[in-house]
Amino acid sequence: MRNKSANNTEGDPPAKYWIGVVSRDHVAQGVKAAIAQIGHGKRVGLARMKQGDWLIYYSPRTSMQSGEKLQAFTAIGQIADNDIYQVEISPVFKPFRRKMQYKRCKEVQAIDLVPKLSFIKNKAKWGYVFRFGLIKISLEDFQLISNLMLR
């Protein structure tokens, strides 16, 4: 995998790398629709990203409400463009989204990588960092996770 995004040209800033925290069932819906949605549909997290950035989803549970514990990296993709748009799911739920280009991947258990991931400072309470919902990570952490997911 190249260090820069596939869409990056000379003079463009290098890609950034992110982890979004979303239940596996919602990740699957996003992959099927080729969209990114994080933070229960809030715009602010998506606005931190730009075209060419990479997003890995971490799923603490299989479903949001009553799902079983999963704690796995479940999808990986690249932000397709710079547009953020809003859709109306219901009169009270109008989430913001971005287009994504997902890669075929396999799920990877997070616990196996915890000792090696630099963004997890407290290895004993490693799940805490994922409570933030969106985490910017280093290229090295991205490569460690993505190399296993894209095998």
Of 78, 81, 65, 77, the residue nearest 26 (C-alpha): 65
**What is the distance of C-alpha 117 from the center of its chain?**
15
Q: What would the pLDDT profile of 11-63 be if each residue is shown by its tens digit?
A: 677 999 999 999 999 999 999 999 999 999 999 999 999 999 999 999 999 99
Q: What would the pLDDT profile of 121-134 be if each residue is shown by its tens digit?
A: 999 999 999 999 99
> Rounded to whole angstroms, how far apart are CA atoms 101 and 76?
9
In sequence order, the β-bridge partners of residue 86 are 96
In sequence order, the β-bridge partners of residue 14 are none
Q: Which DSSP symbol is given to 6? A: T
Domains and CATH numbers, the chain: 17-149 (3.10.590.10)
| CA-derived radius of gyration, the chain | 15
